[in-house]
Amino acid sequence: MSMTPEQATWFAGTFEKLVANVGQAVLGKSHVVSLTLAAMLAEGHVLFEDAPGTGKTMLARALSATVKGTHSRIQFTPDLLPSDVTGVTIYDQKTQVFEFHKGPIFATIVLADEINRASPKTQSALLEVMEESRVTVDGTTYEAGRPFMVLATQNPIEQAGTYRLPEAQLDRFLIKTSIGYPDHASTVQLLSGSSQRDRTSTMTAIITPAAVAEMADLASTAHTDAAVLEYVSRLCEETRNAPETRLGVSVRGAIAMVRLAKVWAASKGRHYVLPDDIKELAPYVWTHRFVMDPEAEFAGATPEVVLARVLAEVAAPQQRAGV
């Protein structure tokens, strides 16, 4: 059953309240907050490439407080083990049975701080839970629950002692973005409240985790016309055929776009997806999935430039309102 116009209106109103609540802690970044919330409702994960001190931890806490969920933070380091992320099975001598002690990955919002500082083996511990929202340890599978989202960060400045995220891991992030520094007015407001170290401590929950899951299910029913789906497919094909790329957008990337576009359309009060939604979201959903040709990259080509050209060259279908 498809989303109705009335349901879309309700969704947009609720979405706006969630953004405003998170905005109490993350000042002046409503667009980034909207993208992150949309990713959560699309049941995806977010990669932040940002300098330290821009509010990534505050965003994770504010999201958790807003949806009345749990929050955990994992500081990735070279000596971090996969069991430090997923949990470990320990033998209890009193009961003489093995007990599974859950790791920090079992939370509503998981902040994976400086994910590129951990070894590839530890990074790979996130692959299953990010794709399937479950963890398998010693042959037993444990569900992560709904909602579940990983907010991973990596510092683009200091590359010493880091491990580049493999393409298979990057492809599992729904979007890649950055928070950036606040504007002047927001900075002054932050400084005036500097005595309050945790601005999320006074926040009140707007919605329950169960209601978030229901919103995610509702958003998935937004109508996506066949012409829009063909448009997404053509764009992906052109990124693969571009001479500057070795790998373009995968099928997973195309599916991720459709999932996020449905949520984005609903957040605007529409029960249908427009081609403009695809154009607006493309830089966040697709550029981190490109594998550039080394020679083209050396010559100055970037994923953003390639994507912009593809969007300009591939004709969008005619928009039809009120589908």
Chain segment 33-88, per-residue pLDDT in tens: 999 999 999 999 999 988 777 788 889 999 999 999 999 999 998 889 999 999 98
201 three-class SS? coil
Please report which confidence band the pLDDT of residue 229 belongs to, taking 50, 70 and 90 as the band edges.
Answer: very high
pLDDT exceeds cutoff 60 at 114:
yes
Give 255: exposed, middle or buried? Use CB within 10 Å, 0-12, 13-18, 19+. Answer: exposed
Mean pLDDT of the chain: 89
Which range (15-19, 211-215, 291-295) has the least confidence?
291-295
Q: Which residue has the higher pLDDT, 260 or 90?
A: 260
Please report which confidence band the pLDDT of residue 194 belongs to, taking 50, 70 and 90 as the band edges.
Answer: low
In whole angstroms, give the CA distance from residue 277 to residue 128: 29
In whole angstroms, give the CA distance from residue 168 to residue 274: 29
**Contact of 21 with 236, CB cutoff 8 Å:** no
In whole angstroms, give the CA distance from residue 302 to residue 314: 19
Tell me, what's the pLDDT at 188? 87
**Contact of 239 with 249, CB cutoff 8 Å:** yes
The string of DSSP codes covering 281-313 is HHHHHHGGG-EE-HHHHHTT--HHHHHHHHHHH
- E-strand spans in the chain? 46-49, 71-75, 87-92, 97-102, 109-113, 134-137, 140-143, 149-154, 175-177, 245-247, 291-292
Which range (30-39, 146-155, 199-208, 252-261) has the least confidence?
199-208
Strands 140-143, 134-137: pairing is: antiparallel
Please report which confidence band the pLDDT of residue 161 belongs to, taking 50, 70 and 90 as the band edges.
Answer: low
In whole angstroms, give the CA distance from residue 270 to residue 57: 31
pLDDT exceeds cutoff 90 at 211:
yes
Tell me, what's the pLDDT at 319? 63
Half-sphere exposure of residue 173: CA atoms within 13 angstroms, side-chain side: 29
pLDDT exceeds cutoff 60 at 322:
no
Q: Which residue has the higher pLDDT, 70 or 98?
A: 70
